[in-house]
């Protein structure tokens, strides 16, 4: 069995600009020089996934502006290559990018013509974000002296065909990752978020799913630790965009981390904890901006945090359900209501019941809520 020391994951904001990529490369060079064993997972460049969604929606709506969006997407990646590499080193990288971008352009043209972007097409479109970033960064790391290899996670992470939030087939994925890492001793630069079905169709693991990719790799490889590098100092007790006096949580138990992530603390993807908890692999959340700060450790030790955490959820809908004759809301009604919520795939964020009414707070899904009602 392979023992891999660490799995490092860098999100979109850490690679949003070429200067940041250079900074991250310095962090990785330190690991490399110390002779540490590690694998790295990168997200798409900051904002790229949203941008890919925007351009496909424009194409699906028949708006020709999708082409302008595509051109800026393409330019952003080409500009990054131009900034990271000297002229003589760029040719092959730009050629491969161009080939990839031609495929994406053709795909978007298809969406524009049929006026539809199915979940299956969307997953393929979104995969260009992570594929581009990891491809460019792996080349850059090699130039910087790291023995890095680009790993398209679709080769190893296998899922069902639930496009948009595919479920990982753990057995096949386990064997694939073990085999791949045994035969490829280089530092693997792995695309987060994307995977593929058994038949080879591209799937994605849900928005923010690169954290989960890192956790799956760590689980299979029995990693010593996962480190998620963020633009904040670690897990804070509230989102600093809404609160000015946030506090860093130094240690969190896996269970508390799952609760926070599930209820919307955006710092880690909710599915990330389970594969780590299973193998007792600690998760370190730390800042790529302040590398001297100690960050947050999430592990199996229980903790006694005195500070409450605050989660802001925007765009919520309050639904209050009561009987027209004001009769009591009893278990039979509740079980019917829960069955409906489950059928419509609606998650409750908060609930409260009184004698004659039952109220829930849910995300404002524009199409699901009217159907439920």
Strands 348-353 and 357-363: antiparallel
Q: Quick one: 191 or 219, whose CB is closer to ligand ASP?
A: 191
Write phi, then psi, for 52 (nearest 5 degrees).
-65, -35
- 234: tokens are 């670690």
Q: Which of 8, 10, 11, 124 binds ligand ASP (CB under 6 A)?
A: 11
Footprint on residues 40-59 left by ligand ASP (CB under 6 A): 43-44, 49
The DSSP 8-state label assigned to residue 304 in this structure reads -
CB of 123 to ligand ASP, least distance (A): 11
**C-alpha closest to that of 190 among 225, 154, 222, 163:** 154
Strands 6-10 and 148-151: unpaired
CB-based contact 254:311 (threshold 8 Å): no
Asked whether position 209 contacts ligand ASP by CB under 6 A, the answer is yes
Asked whether position 234 contacts ligand ASP by CB under 6 A, the answer is no
Strands 6-10 and 158-159: unpaired
- 163: tokens are 């496009």
Asked whether position 270 contacts ligand ASP by CB under 6 A, the answer is no
Asked whether position 193 contacts ligand ASP by CB under 6 A, the answer is yes
Distance in angstroms (rounded) separating the CA atoms of residues 336 and 342: 10
Asked whether position 208 contacts ligand ASP by CB under 6 A, the answer is yes
Residue count, binding to ligand ASP (CB under 6 A):
12
Q: Quick one: 227 or 360, whose CB is closer to ligand ASP?
A: 227
Q: Which of 4, 12, 173, 297 binds ligand ASP (CB under 6 A)?
A: 12
Q: Which stretch binds ligand ASP (CB under 6 A): 92-100, 113-121, 154-162, 206-214?
A: 206-214
Q: Which of 134, 173, 190, 210 binds ligand ASP (CB under 6 A)?
A: 210
Question: b/e per residue, 92-107, with b = 16+ CB within 10 A?
Answer: ebeeebeebbeebbeb
Q: Which of 192, 234, 275, 295 binds ligand ASP (CB under 6 A)?
A: 192
CB-based contact 214:231 (threshold 8 Å): no
Which residues here bind ligand ASP, judged by CB under 6 A?
11-12, 43-44, 49, 129, 192-193, 207-210
């Amino acid at each position: 069995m392979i023992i891999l020391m660490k799995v490092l994951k860098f999100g979109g904001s850490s690679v949003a600009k070429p200067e940041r990529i250079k900074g991250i490369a310095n962090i990785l060079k330190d690991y490399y020089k110390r002779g540490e064993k590690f694998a790295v997972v990168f997200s798409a460049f900051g904002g790229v996934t949203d941008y890919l969604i925007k351009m496909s929606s424009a194409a699906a709506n028949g708006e020709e502006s999708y082409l302008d969006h595509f051109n800026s997407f393409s330019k952003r990646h080409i500009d990054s290559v131009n900034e990271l590499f000297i002229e003589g080193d760029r040719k092959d990288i730009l050629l491969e990018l161009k080939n990839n971008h031609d495929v994406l352009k053709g795909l978007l043209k298809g969406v524009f013509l049929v006026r539809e972007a199915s979940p299956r097409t969307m997953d393929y479109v979104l995969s260009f974000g992570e594929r581009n970033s990891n491809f460019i960064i792996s080349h850059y790391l090699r130039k910087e002296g790291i023995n890095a290899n680009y790993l398209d996670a679709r080769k190893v992470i296998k899922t069902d065909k639930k496009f948009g939030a595919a479920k990982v087939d753990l057995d096949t994925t386990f064997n694939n990752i073990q085999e791949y890492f045994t035969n490829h001793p280089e530092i693997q630069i792995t695309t987060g978020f994307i995977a593929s079905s058994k038949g080879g169709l591209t799937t994605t693991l849900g928005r923010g799913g690169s954290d989960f990719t890192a956790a799956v790799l760590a689980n299979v490889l029995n990693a010593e630790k996962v480190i998620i590098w963020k633009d904040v100092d670690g897990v804070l007790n509230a989102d600093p965009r809404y609160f000015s006096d946030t506090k860093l949580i130094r240690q969190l138990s896996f269970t508390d981390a799952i609760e926070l992530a599930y209820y919307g603390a955006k710092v880690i993807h909710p599915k990330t904890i389970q594969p780590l908890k299973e193998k007792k692999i600690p998760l370190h959340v730390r800042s790529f901006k302040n590398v001297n700060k100690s960050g947050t450790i999430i592990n199996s030790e229980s903790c006694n945090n005195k500070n409450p955490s605050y989660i802001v959820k925007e765009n919520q809908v309050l639904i209050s359900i009561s009987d027209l004759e004001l009769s009591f809301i009893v278990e039979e009604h509740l079980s019917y209501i829960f069955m409906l919520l489950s059928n419509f795939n609606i998650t409750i964020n908060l609930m409260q019941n009184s004698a004659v009414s039952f109220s829930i707070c849910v995300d404002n899904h524009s199409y699901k809520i009217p159907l439920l009602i």
